[in-house]
Amino acid sequence: MMRLAQVLTVSILTLAMTADASAERREGLGGKYAARNMTAAQGSLTILAGPTSTQALGNASAFGSNGPGFNYNRAVFGEGDFELDLSTGVMNVGAAYGITPELEAGVMLPLLLIQPEGAEGDLISAIPVFATYAMDLGNFDAGVRLTASVPISEGLDFGLNVGVPFLFRFGGNSRLDTGLFFPLNFGDELGKSLVIPVRFTQSVTPKIFVGAETGLVLPEFETDAGAIPFGIHAGYTLLAGGNVVDVALQLMFPGFVSLAEGAENPGTDIMAISFGTNVQMKF
pLDDT score recorded for residue 116 = 84
**Low-confidence stretches of the chain (pLDDT beneath 70):** 1-28, 61-64
Which tens digits make up the pLDDT trace of 173-228?
A: 999 999 999 999 999 899 999 999 999 999 999 999 999 999 999 999 999 989 99
pLDDT score recorded for residue 257 = 95
Q: CA-CA distance, 191 to 175, in Å (whole number)?
A: 32
pLDDT score recorded for residue 77 = 82
Contact (CB, 8 A) for 108 and 48? yes
What DSSP string runs through 199-268?
EEEEESSSSEEEEEEEEEEEETT-GGG-EEEEEEEEEEEEEETTEEEEEEEEEEEEEEEE-STT--SS--
pLDDT score recorded for residue 160 = 96
List the chain domain ranges. 2-269
Q: Which CATH number fits domain 2-269: 2.40.128, 3.40.50, 1.10.760, 2.30.30?
A: 2.40.128
**Peptide bond connecting 266 to the previous residue in cis, omega within 30 degrees of 0:** yes
pLDDT score recorded for residue 25 = 65
CA distances from residue 46 to 42, 67, 141, 200, 256 in whole angstroms, order as listed? 11, 14, 19, 21, 31
Q: CA-CA distance, 40 to 103, in Å (whole number)?
A: 8
